[in-house]
Amino acid sequence: MQRVVITGYGIYSCIGKNNEEVIDSLYHGRSGIIYDPARKEFGYRSALTGYVDPPYLKELLDRRARLMLPEQGEYAYMSTIEALKNAGLTQDYIDEHEVGIIFGNDSSATPTIVATDIIREKKSTVFAGSGSVFQSLNSTVTMNLATIFRLKGINFTVSAACASGSQSIGLGYQYIRTGLQDCIICGGAQETGIFSMGSFDAISAFSIRENEPTKASRPFDRDRDGLVPSGGGATVILESLESALKRGAHIYGEVIGYGFSSNGGHISNPTVDGPARSILRSIKDANIDINEIDYINAHATSTPVGDASEAQAIYSVFGESKALVSSTKSMTGHECWMAGASEIIYSLLMMKEDFVAPNINFENPDEYSSKLNIADKKINKKIDVFLSNSFGFGGTNSTLIIRKYTG
Amino acid sequence: MTNEEIINKINHFFVEEFEAEESSLIPTEDMRKTLDLDSLDFVDLVVVVESNFGFKVNTEDFQNIISFQDFYNYVIENYTQQEAVKPS
């Protein structure tokens, strides 16, 4: 079995457009949530969203490449160029080696709806244009990035709802671990456009604390009332240890555990047992003692039921172990398909800078969160090992464990 | 619309939509090579022609078009025909 390490990462999110900006936001507990009046006008129950600044790509990509990229593809492109640079992977290197891509993405609603509206109005499909089909497919991110960066390795998209980004890293880990690939660009991407989240809003999943946008996402807090949708792009470069050492690459961390499970229950209601099994599987895979885990980046999205279930699942595994817990969704909102990847990056940044980012807005615990060691403010702390949870609709669960690389 | 206005309009969308250098739009030059057009670009060409000139385009119509002048002629001919049958 190969050891699997992380040699680069890049992020484009509502709390920063690169690693440096994001470190600053995490450190200072800065929220990226806004009130978007257009959502209200459109018929949303909640106008809250993470705001992601659209990147300017005209000087970076030619017309053809830009035409093919939907919103979340643009974010993923930005996070990927940062990750590749961070990893020291040049286009020359990529051209000469088999580099793969596995990304998490579970929708591309905006281009689909825009094209349908045009076809309906014009009564001609051609008016959808040449880019529409490539923007609309669920695999839009991987098909675009594989083309732009001329990748020759594994190439597919993982759709696992809000666990997509985490599962992409888990699968990349498996491909490298078993020797099938040496280097894979993994990550997650999430659209934020007004067309993308209406059906999610329809089931009353979103917070309606509209008078205080930056306080709306409050995972584990007693008075939480729902999640805040958000998005962006997050890219992690996974590589075999052998390949990383051969290149002389800097190693930011090692993936030592991947756990997964399916609840086998309701389509949207979570369970305690499903996430607990995912956590336990990851710990078994990592072959570590639970006391070695310094920090848990919780999935906790700020929904009443979801956070309570996760708190119980964490407690059932960790008991009195005092690993610090926080949900960075308190600042970012729920980055959905991207979250499992972005939260690995947020945690890697904390590991690099020796602090645990605060679970902002955690003012009063509830019955279950009171049993956890939740970081309600920034805590300076050396992190050697962290665990990151991601759970999705349909009961899909994924857990990753990363250890600081020490040789 | 005069022929000159039609050509100006076409050149404008080559510059705006296809990001062509204005100086590269030489009537005798090979349009596909100059603009580096692939089959997908022809879909977008159909959209801009239909949107700007109002006549129905079939992608097969482009098969015999080599130079920019061929393209100008194609648009002028179809546009003129369309205008001729419009009730005054």
For the segment A187-196, the average pLDDT, to the nearest whole number, is 97
* pLDDT on residue B61: 87
Sequence-separated (6 or more) residues with CB below 8 Å from residue B38: A64
Domains of chain A: 4-247 (3.40.47.10), 254-403 (3.40.47.10)
Mean pLDDT of chain A, nearest integer = 97
* pLDDT tens profile A226-285: 999 999 999 999 999 999 999 999 999 999 999 999 999 999 999 999 999 999 999 999
Q: Which of A64, A123, A133 to mutate to test the interface with B (most CBs of B within 10 A)?
A: A64
* pLDDT tens profile B55-87: 999 878 888 899 999 999 999 999 999 888 877
Query: Which two tokens mark A217?
Result: 């996402």
- For chain B, the domains span 3-85
Euclidean distance between CA atoms A349 and A297, whole angstroms? 12
Lowest mean pLDDT among A48-52, A190-194, B62-66: B62-66
* pLDDT tens profile A94-135: 999 999 999 999 999 999 999 999 999 999 999 999 999 999
Q: Which of B43, B49, B52, B62 to mutate to test the interface with A (most CBs of A within 10 A)?
A: B43
For the segment A359-380, the average pLDDT, to the nearest whole number, is 97
Q: Is B61 on the interface with A (CB under 8 A)?
A: no
For the segment A364-370, the average pLDDT, to the nearest whole number, is 97
* pLDDT on residue A322: 80
Residues of B in contact with A127 (CB under 8 A): 47, 50-51
Query: Which two tokens mark B45?
Result: 């060409």
* pLDDT on residue B88: 64
Euclidean distance between CA atoms A55 and A110, whole angstroms? 17
- The fold for domain B3-85 equals 1.10.1200
A268 with A203: CB under 8 angstroms?
yes
Minimal Cα distance from A62: which residue of B? B19
Euclidean distance between CA atoms B71 and A146, whole angstroms? 34
pLDDT band at A178 (very low <50, low <70, confident <90, very high): very high
pLDDT band at A176 (very low <50, low <70, confident <90, very high): very high
Query: Which two tokens mark A83?
Result: 């990750």
The single residue listed with the structure tokens 């090979």 is B30
pLDDT band at A47 (very low <50, low <70, confident <90, very high): very high
